[in-house]
Amino acid sequence: MKKLTTTPSLEDIKTAAEAIAPFVHRTPMLQSSSINEILGTQLWLKCENFQKVGAFKMRGASCAVAALNEEEKASGIATHSSGNHAQAVALSAKMRGITAHIVMPSNAPEIKRKAVEGYGAHIYPCDPAIESRKARTDEVLAETGATFIHPYNNYNIVAGQATAALEILEEMPDINIIMAPVGGGGLMSGTALVCHYFGKNTMAVGAEPAMVDDAFRSLQSGIIETNDDINTIADGLRTNLGEITLQIIRDHVAKIILVSEESITAAMKMVWERMKIIIEPSGAVPIAAIMTEPEFFRNKSVAVIVSGGNVDLESLPF
Amino acid sequence: MKKLTTTPSLEDIKTAAEAIAPFVHRTPMLQSSSINEILGTQLWLKCENFQKVGAFKMRGASCAVAALNEEEKASGIATHSSGNHAQAVALSAKMRGITAHIVMPSNAPEIKRKAVEGYGAHIYPCDPAIESRKARTDEVLAETGATFIHPYNNYNIVAGQATAALEILEEMPDINIIMAPVGGGGLMSGTALVCHYFGKNTMAVGAEPAMVDDAFRSLQSGIIETNDDINTIADGLRTNLGEITLQIIRDHVAKIILVSEESITAAMKMVWERMKIIIEPSGAVPIAAIMTEPEFFRNKSVAVIVSGGNVDLESLPF
């Protein structure tokens, strides 16, 4: 896989799917007749909660690693994250015998730190403020000569995340709508490109917590908007878009629906109770969007990319 | 399907599988490489948490309903239960247009009462004491002429529950051990018969909370033992064996392993965290047994029948 320097093409996304196939799971699509009855849609969940590291981030990280040249592989890779991206980078590196350097805020949950350590990555604790994280990462990059893997503002990451929607269209070429939650926009922009290149009028629709509605506002203003209060339960969606993801989302996403915190919890609980699968709050956001605007989705076939299943069982919102 | 009056034969179990196939899900078998590493076994979960009504009970209830004659169908069926059996009887009846009468303790959780109501069953509240339940059931049977469907001490129920293990052996004929939790013994005795009839030296192993070790003691004494304190977290396993299930378990179960309450919670949490699927405490009991006696299972291939996924998300043990 080559290093992408422009918006991934149709061929780039096909190549990404081939490149990462040995390193990721092809996840199942599940549905529930009782949830379909409640929502009035034909809803399919693309279960990235069953993906390696429990999240779609494994796709993008695998794709970024596949684009490294020999020299870069020898120097290792680095990122800063306390979440799913950190685990995905660490595991992707481990699978190919590459060293991973992960800058993590010192207040990151013990369980996440241990998971990253379990994949053999080097952990660099830092002050939780975003400036400190960036500064510490710059130091690590200077010390190690590692290649930085941005969690979303990276064309190879976008191409990797796109493969989830590609699998959906392979199995259900006539689906009406594919939905993704919007955080940094890597999954959303990859999904939108796939609908554009491969769909038969398949609409790409995003969903975002109203509390962190930066992407919704960015679509209106055309610039990268930020959030004042990022205290949403959907912890994977607290970031802003990047230049790369904003551009693709502006060009190819039909709309972004905002949802309340209460609806996220309700959607998550409905899936846990009725489907007996664990989805994280971020993964429930598009389902909350269907509950929020039911008329838009009525009698449509809808695939929701469930971002992941990583939740702290000791602090559930129920 | 005929009404069985003796221990189900090999042919009876095959017939049961055909009779219930249109009314139940063929559930998947899932595994986790990290759990295999932790336990030192090749563990497969037979996911009855994804079964209709969220529990294996749907198999037995469907099989009992399949054996009703026209007159019995016209008069309806009845049972007393606050748990998965009530839902299974109610849904099985609904699917064939039969009336179901369910005696439920007045302190049963609202969510369970609503589920049974949702399947169109008549609910008869009663005092929670077991004598009151039985007395109220006798009244209902007298009033309605309905046929009583015992949750486990019924040969058709046993033949229906047996179909879970049959599906395991169809997919993995060489598996070493099949495990089930032991409550009333319907699932365990059906599983043991399947291992006996269809297995290539497949061992049937049971697991039971040490707090309600009645089946373990019954195997030693040869009579139906009871429990003083039934306050185990594994709420599906609080009952004693019946004459029918005791006989089959004595004849065909290799052993029953006792587990602590702490190990049940630990096993349940491990599966939730690593596999992102929701299993109920009763379903975690055989996994807790592997954690309790790891040497017995070392390097064996083991299928655990996960009894179900019905948990109250608002009172989790984590």
Note the helical H segments in chain A: 10-20, 33-39, 57-66, 70-75, 84-95, 110-118, 130-144, 155-171, 186-198, 214-221, 243-252, 261-275, 281-292, 294-297
Helix (H) or strand (E) holding B46: strand B42-47
Which residue has tokens 């053999």? Answer: A120
Q: What's the pLDDT score for residue A315? A: 87
Q: What's the pLDDT score for residue A126? A: 92
Read off the pLDDT of residues A258-297 as tens digits, 9 standing for 90 and up.
Answer: 999 999 999 999 999 999 999 999 999 999 999 999 999 9
Task: Give dist(CA A246, CA A264) in Å, integer.
Answer: 24
pLDDT for residue A82 is more than 80? no
**Least CB–CB distance from A276: residue in B269, B309, B314:** B309
Locate A18 and state its tokens.
Answer: 């081939």
Interface residues of chain B, partner chain A, Cβ below 8 Å: 49-50, 54, 269, 272-273, 275-279, 309, 313-314, 316, 318
- Residue to mutate among B276, B277, B306, B318, with most A CBs inside 10 A, is B276
Q: What is the DSSP string of A198-221?
A: H-SSPEEEEEEEGGGTHHHHHHHH
Confidence bin at A83 (pLDDT 50/70/90): confident
CB–CB of B313 and A313 under 8 A?
A: no
Task: Give dist(CA B236, CA B26) in Å, integer.
Answer: 22
Q: What's the pLDDT score for residue A11? A: 98
Mean pLDDT of chain A: 96
Task: Give dist(CA A241, CA A246) in Å, integer.
Answer: 6
CB–CB of B313 and A316 under 8 A?
A: yes
Domains of chain A: 10-55+161-315 (3.40.50.1100), 58-148 (3.40.50.1100)
CB–CB of A54 and B276 under 8 A?
A: yes
Read off the pLDDT of residues A7-16 as tens digits, 9 standing for 90 and up.
Answer: 999 999 999 9
pLDDT for residue A109 is more than 90? no
- Find all residues with CB under 8 Å of B181, minimum gap 6, and list them: B187, B188, B206, B207, B208, B234, B236, B237, B282, B283, B285, B286, B305, B307
Confidence bin at A110 (pLDDT 50/70/90): confident
The DSSP secondary-structure symbol of B148 reads E
Which residues of chain B have a pLDDT value below 70?
none
Enter the pTM of the model: 0.95
Confidence bin at A111 (pLDDT 50/70/90): confident
Q: Are A68 and A74 in contact (CB under 8 A)?
A: no
Mean pLDDT of A82-97: 95
pLDDT for residue A314 is more than 80? yes
Q: What's the pLDDT score for residue A167? A: 98
CB–CB of A313 and B278 under 8 A?
A: no
pLDDT for residue A93 is more than 80? yes
Q: What's the pLDDT score for residue B47? A: 98
A278 contact residues in B (CB cutoff 8 A): 272, 276-278
CB–CB of A318 and B318 under 8 A?
A: no
Q: What's the pLDDT score for residue B227? A: 94
- The amino acid occupying position B272 is W
**Percentage of chain A surpassing pLDDT 70?**
100
